[in-house]
Amino acid sequence: MEDLLRALAIAVGIWLALIVALVLSGRGALARELATLVPDLVVLFAGLIRDPAVPRRAKFVLAIAGLWLASPIDLIPEFIPVAGPLDDAIVAALALRYVLRTTRVAVVASHWRGSDAMLERLMRLAGHGTARPHGT
């Protein structure tokens, strides 16, 4: 448990340092989006896991992704700038991609608490293209 808390503290520290660096470099809007991304993803994943419209396999994928993100064991250590969180971002994107292939976009969008622009970016990153429901 101590290792998990240490890893979480390191990840949060890197996340905060990146936000500060973006603010100092004049990229405040991007810093705001990054500051809310992790909490928004946690809320999204938790909401999707509880939603009866999400298939069981997708919930399993989300749960495994959540465990991976919380785990202190990473392919790339978190303390390595930029590259450290990369494996976590890939896992989150792959989980979201699977959920989007098995769940209606409207269901996913209903659990998103962040900005519409960030949801659009996440959808494109996950290979979906848009957060706008297609007839759903």
Pick from 82, 74, 127: nearest CA to 100: 127
Count the neighbouring beta carbons within 10 Å of the beta carbon of residue 64.
12
Would you give per-residue pLDDT tens digits along the chain (136 residues)?
Answer: 566 566 667 666 766 777 787 778 887 777 777 667 777 888 899 999 999 999 999 999 999 988 887 776 766 666 666 566 667 777 888 898 899 899 999 999 999 998 888 888 878 877 776 655 444 4
pLDDT for position 55: 96
Long-range pairs, 30-38, Cβ under 8 A, ≥24 = 33/114, 33/115, 33/117, 33/118, 36/114, 36/115, 36/118, 37/114, 37/118
pLDDT for position 83: 62
pTM greater than the 0.85 cutoff: no
